[in-house]
Structure 1
Amino acid sequence: MRTFVIGDIHGGLKALPQVLEKAKITPKDTLIFLGDYVDGWSESAQVIEFLIELSKTHKCIFIKGNHDLWCQNWLRTGEGEVVWEMHGGNETKESYLNFSEEKKQQHLAFFKQMKPYYIDTKNQLFIHAGFTSMHGVEKETFKMNYYFDRTLWEMALTMDKRIEKDSELYPNRLKHYREIYIGHTPTTHYSSTTPLNAINIWNLDTGAAFTGPLTIMDIDTKEFWQSEPVKDLYPNEKGRN
């Protein structure tokens, strides 16, 4: 029985079966999705439909990302925030044009049941963006950090690797969890299209919304598989480029 973590998809449905097939996923495996299923390529609504069906045959854990939060609000109210529309929301709206009101309500229910974060039995944290509380994710005062924070990742990236975990200089934020898995900040910002590791944090957003591929990783072995660059799967679209 294996556990896999999957990075940000951003409406690139064609990439999803590719990585599931390459990793030879079976119904015995657990799949943890790190959020941002929508906004970018033209098949956001179709990604949600695919994931709903996948969850009927496989054990799936769905973390909510900032784009999912925006899309949920739009499905709930019919009004989209300007910032959302500018960052892929308009493409998501278009993907829903042929979906019935009943189907939209099913998708809204799916968004509502997504988790802000997940901690497994091995004390590994899965979260879309991050948190700022030195006392751990559960003590976070500003819950929006679960979806928007970048400081957790930036701190880990700049940290001196020689600092031992029992040192008073070691950040308390990182001490709470054996490992932390995030998306949200594309590794392509750091000239990488593969997962990045900093201290005990793994970043699985390999830029599928932009020029990179979608990535799936076995959390025990750290072996990972990738789709084709998603932009090549949607050659007539811009995604979020």
Structure 2
Amino acid sequence: MRTFVIGDVHGGLLALEQVMKKAEVTEKDTLIFLGDYVDGWSQSPQVIDYLIHLQGRQKCICIRGNHDDLLLEWLKNAKNNELWYQHGGEATVLAYEKLNDEQKQVHIKFLESLQDYYLDEQNRLFVHAGFTNLNGVEYEYFSKSFYWDRTLWETALSLNPDLKEQDLYYPKRFTLYREIYIGHTPVSRIGETVPINKACVWNIDTGAAFKGPLTIMDVDTKEFWQSEPLNELYFNERGRN
């Protein structure tokens, strides 16, 4: 039995199928998805169907991402969001034109069931973006921070590696959990294409929304597997710029 964490998929079903095969995932394994299942590439509805199927056969924890929340709002209220449309939503809107109302209701139910975060028995936190409360996720005032915050990762990147937990200026957020796994902010922003560890934070978003691969990681061994770059798998699509 293994525990895997999977980065932001962004409508790339082909990549998700690749990493599941490469990691030789079985029904005995636990899967923790960090959110942003949609927006970017053309198979957002198929990704959600795939996740629903996984939840029916094994332990599969699905965290809420900001793009998933935006899709839910659009499906329920048909509210136009120009910024979302420009950042991957266009491909999702086009893909959902092929679904009937019954299929959309199934997806709404799935999106409403997503978790803000997951804390396991080993005090490892899994959250899409981050949190801001210095006392931890249970005390977070603004739930949208779980899927919009970037300060956790920005703080981890800027942290002096010589600082120790007992030092006066060591960020308290990094002392609360054994490890924190996030997505949301692609490591391609710092010129990387593999999972990056800073302090206790592991960033698993390797840029699948753009020209990077999708990543799956064994949280115990830190071994990871990656798909081909998404712009190569979907070579005839524009994706997110």
Bin for the TM-score computed over the shorter chain:
over 0.9
The answer as to whether partners of 1:38 and 1:47 remain within 8 angstroms in 2 is: yes
Q: Distance in 2 between matches of 1:79 and 1:237?
A: 25
Match of 2:221 in 1: 221
Match of 2:160 in 1: 160
More deviation in 174-183 or 51-60? 51-60
Match of 1:39 in 2: 39
Aligned residue type for 2:116: P
Q: How does 1:201-240 map to 2 (within 5 A)?
A: 201-240=201-240
Structure 2, unaligned runs of 5 or more? none
Q: Distance in 2 between matches of 1:80 and 1:61?
A: 29
Deviation at residue 237 of structure 1 after TM alignment: 0.8
Deviation at residue 61 of structure 1 after TM alignment: 0.2
> What percentage of aligned pairs have identical amino acids?
56
Aligned residue type for 2:94: E
- Residue by residue over 1:148-180, the C-alpha shift from the partner in whole angstroms, topping out at 9 and shown as x without a partner, is 110100001110111111222211111110000
Q: Distance in 1 between matches of 2:226 and 2:179?
A: 21
Match of 1:77 in 2: 77
Structure 1, unaligned runs of 5 or more? none
Q: CA RMSD in A?
A: 0.8
Q: How does 1:128-147 map to 2 (within 5 A)?
A: 128-147=128-147
Q: Distance in 1 between matches of 2:157 and 2:67?
A: 24
More deviation in 185-194 or 51-60? 51-60
- SS at 2:225's partner residue? strand
The answer as to whether partners of 1:215 and 1:224 remain within 8 angstroms in 2 is: yes
The answer as to whether partners of 1:73 and 1:80 remain within 8 angstroms in 2 is: no
Deviation at residue 80 of structure 1 after TM alignment: 3.1
- SS at 2:13's partner residue? coil
Match of 2:186 in 1: 186
- SS at 1:57's partner residue? coil
**Over 6 Å off, 4+ runs:** none
Compute the TM-score of the two structures, normalised by the length of structure 2. 0.98
- Residue by residue over 1:175-230, the C-alpha shift from the partner in whole angstroms, topping out at 9 and shown as x without a partner, is 11000000000011111110011000000000001010000000000000000001
- Residue by residue over 1:36-66, the C-alpha shift from the partner in whole angstroms, topping out at 9 and shown as x without a partner, is 0000001111111111112111210000000
